[in-house]
């Protein structure tokens, strides 16, 4: 259960807290970063060293080493567009080094430049596969999937327009060296409306729309190879749901299980992600929690993917225990110190000795191997306790 997840990182939607929360439950957290401007937000709170330390707990950081481009040429009075995959510019490679390496600022030629001092590879390469571009082309020209996606986007931003209306054109005509685009939609205005509705990365302009499609096809392909749940932005989830609903449904179900577990068993005041994002916890405290979670994750691995995490946790609290162990501790203490008959002569006769015997026997009864509640009721609840106090003031 909760074996692997792929996150296509977007600084507007995904936080450090989200990543730590995933590391607490998932064995492998595959983080794809493909935008230069998203890089600094990853280490803003914990530093590059902190990011590297998280690799010890299942974080796999993938940096995009390719980009999807859309160019245009003019011929016969028409603008012909074409898509291509290419290696990123030197600017991107320099920014990539910023997450791969420690660096210091030195002055060269009266200008401050970032000079790498110590190399430490903290990332793996991710490239959008050529088959993603090919699949996008096939789906557009043969299956018209773009109209289904556009219709879903229009509905999401409460637009009255419909792609079923023949007056609303959004067409791609294939030519020898690319395609010709034609639309009656005011794509710029639709993107502005999407921004007002909170979808900062929803695309309607033809070039960026097809680039987004190709990106998502590549990420879905990557998630399928990893047999992972897939976490994307709300706008990107519309594209995924029109193509591979199952992979999106898997993440939704797993996220709901984790959310319910946290609310009912950890804290109803704040999630683990919120505690991390509050800035109250240092990277040392975060790593200490992840260290303590190893047995918890070992237990989690024994669960079936078809089972409900919260139900399995509650079963584990009661499984393989003598009936007296299932009683609240205050009742077991009452039994021992009252001499109800579990042990002959135990009761008021023992007087002061009772408390010592009480503690000894309870410890023996409670000892029966590691239980997930030991972590949840111990280290995990202590981790969120500070946030809980703030919320209850």
Residue 375 within a domain: yes
Verify that 42 and 115 share a domain, yes or no: yes
Question: Of 243, 276, 307, which one is at a domain's C-terminal end?
Answer: 243
Token pair 């993107």 is found at: 191
Higher-pLDDT residue of 120 and 21 is: 21
Please check whether residues 311 and 186 belong to one and the same domain.
Answer: no
Query: Lowest mean pLDDT: which of 61-70, 143-152, 207-216?
Result: 61-70
Cα(first)–Cα(last) distance of the chain, in Å?
37
pLDDT at position 3, please?
Answer: 92
Poorest-pLDDT segment among 133-137, 367-371, 387-391: 387-391
Query: What is the reported pLDDT for 258?
Result: 94
What is the arithmetic mean of pLDDT over 367-392? 74
Q: 220 near 232, Cβ under 8 Å?
A: no
157 lies in which domain range?
4-243
- Number of Cβ within a 10 Å radius of residue 214: 22
Instruction: Write phi, then psi, for 107 (nearest 5 degrees).
Output: -100, 120
Q: Which is nearest to 49 in space by CA: 96, 93, 95, 99?
A: 99
Judge whether 39 lies within some domain. yes
Q: Cα separation of 86 and 127, whole Å? A: 10
DSSP labels, 49-88: HHHHHGGGGTEEEEEE-EEEEEEEEEETTEEEEEEEEEEP
Same domain, 231 and 292: no
| Distance, CA of 201 to CA of 110 (rounded, Å) | 39
Tokens 């054109």 correspond to 169
Burial readout 339-351 (b: 16 or more C-beta within 10 A, e: otherwise): beeeeeebbeebe
- 21, 39, 100, 121, 223 from 96: Cα distances, Å: 25, 8, 6, 10, 22
Same domain, 23 and 140: yes
Identify which has the larger pLDDT, 317 or 249. Answer: 249
Q: Average pLDDT, stretch 96-106?
A: 51
What is the tens place of the pLDDT at every residue in 264-273? Answer: 999 878 899 9
Evaluate whether residue 42 is within a structural domain. yes
The reported pLDDT for the residue numbered 273 is 93
Say if residue 42 is in the same domain as residue 172.
yes
Least confident of 41-50, 190-199, 307-316, 378-387: 41-50
Give the residue from 62, 208, 335 showing the smallest Cα distance to 216. Answer: 208
Question: d(Cα 233, Cα 238) in Å, to the nearest integer?
Answer: 9
Q: How far is CA 223 from the centre of its chain?
A: 12
One domain for residues 222 and 111:
yes
State mean pLDDT over 293-315: 89
Within-domain flag for 250: no
In this structure, are 231 and 318 located in the same domain?
no
Query: Per-residue pLDDT averaged across 120-148, rounded?
Result: 83
If one compares 231 and 323, the residue with the highest pLDDT of the two is 231
- Token pair, residue 209, equals 């729309």
**Are 167 and 133 found together in one domain?**
yes
Residue 251 lies in a domain: no
- 187 and 292 share one domain: no
Q: Evaluate whether residue 261 is within a structural domain.
A: no
Which one is predicted more confidently, 177 or 76? 177
Q: What is the distance between the alpha carbons of residues 220 and 236, in angstroms, rounded to a whole number?
A: 11
Does residue 92 form part of some domain?
A: yes
> Which are the contacts of 8, defined by CB distance < 8 A and separation ≥ 6?
32, 34, 215, 219, 230, 231, 232, 233, 236
Looking at the structure, tell me whether residues 320 and 197 fall in a common domain: no
- Rounded distance, CA 8 to CA 71, Å? 25
pLDDT of 203:
95
Is the domain of 55 the same as that of 112?
yes
CA distance 123 to 59: 10
Alpha helices by DSSP H, the chain:
16-25, 39-43, 47-53, 90-100, 130-142, 145-156, 187-196, 206-226, 234-243, 245-261, 272-277, 283-292, 294-301, 309-318, 329-338, 353-366, 372-375, 381-392
Per-residue DSSP letter, 378: I
- What is the token pair recorded at 294? 């190893």
User: Any residues with CB less than 8 A from the CB of 305 and at least 6 apart, and which?
Assistant: 1, 3
86 belongs to a structural domain: yes
In tens, the pLDDT along 306-333 reads: 888 989 888 887 765 544 444 444 444 4
Q: How many domains does the chain have?
A: 2
Mean pLDDT on 125-149: 86
Give the dihedral sign, CA 191/156/195/32: negative
CA angle 235, 236, 241 (to 5 degrees): 105
Query: Are residues 168 and 262 in contact, defined by beta-carbon separation less than 8 angstroms?
Result: no
**In Å, how far from its chain's centre is CA 42?**
13
Distance CA 145, CA 264 (A): 41
Percent of the chain with pLDDT over 90: 40
Looking at the fold, whether 310 and 379 belong to one and the same domain comes out as yes
Sheet holding 178-183, edge to edge: 66-75, 78-87, 178-183, 170-175
């Amino acid at each position: 259960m909760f074996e692997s997840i792929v996150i296509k990182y977007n600084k507007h939607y995904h936080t450090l807290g989200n990543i730590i929360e995933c590391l607490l439950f998932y064995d492998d957290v595959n983080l794809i970063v493909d935008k230069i401007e998203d890089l600094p937000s990853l280490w803003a709170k914990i530093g590059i060293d902190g990011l590297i330390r998280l690799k010890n707990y299942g974080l796999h950081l993938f940096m995009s080493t390719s980009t999807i481009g859309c160019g245009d040429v003019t011929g016969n009075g028409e603008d012909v567009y074409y898509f291509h995959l290419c290696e990123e510019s030197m600017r991107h490679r320099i920014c990539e080094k910023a997450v791969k390496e420690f660096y210091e600022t030195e002055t060269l030629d009266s200008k401050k430049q970032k000079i790498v001092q110590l190399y430490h590879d903290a990332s793996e390469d991710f490239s959008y596969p050529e088959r993603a571009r090919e699949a996008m082309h096939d789906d557009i020209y043969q299956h018209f999937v773009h109209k289904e996606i556009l219709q879903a986007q229009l509905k999401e931003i409460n637009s009255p327009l419909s792609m079923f209306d023949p007056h609303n054109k959004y067409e791609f005509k294939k030519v020898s060296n690319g395609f010709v685009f034609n639309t009656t939609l005011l794509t710029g205005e639709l993107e502005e409306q999407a921004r007002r509705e909170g979808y900062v990365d929803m695309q309607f302009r033809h070039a960026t729309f097809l680039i987004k499609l190709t990106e998502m096809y590549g990420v879905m392909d990557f998630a399928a190879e990893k047999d992972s749940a897939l976490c994307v932005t709300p706008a990107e989830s519309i594209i995924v749901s029109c193509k591979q609903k199952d992979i999106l449904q898997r993440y939704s179900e797993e996220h709901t299980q984790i959310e319910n577990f946290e609310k009912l068993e950890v804290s109803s005041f704040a999630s683990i992600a919120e505690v991390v994002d509050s800035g109250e916890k240092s990277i040392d405290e975060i790593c200490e929690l992840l260290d303590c979670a190893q047995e918890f994750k070992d237990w989690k691995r024994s669960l079936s993917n078809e089972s409900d995490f919260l139900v399995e946790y509650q079963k584990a609290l009661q499984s393989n225990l003598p009936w007296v162990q299932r009683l609240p501790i205050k009742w077991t203490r009452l039994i021992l110190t009252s001499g109800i008959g579990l042990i002959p002569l135990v009761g008021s006769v023992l007087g002061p000795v009772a408390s010592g015997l009480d503690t000894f026997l309870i410890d023996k009864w409670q000892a029966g191997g590691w239980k997930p509640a030991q972590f949840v009721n111990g280290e995990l609840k202590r981790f969120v306790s500070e946030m809980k106090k703030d919320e209850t003031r």
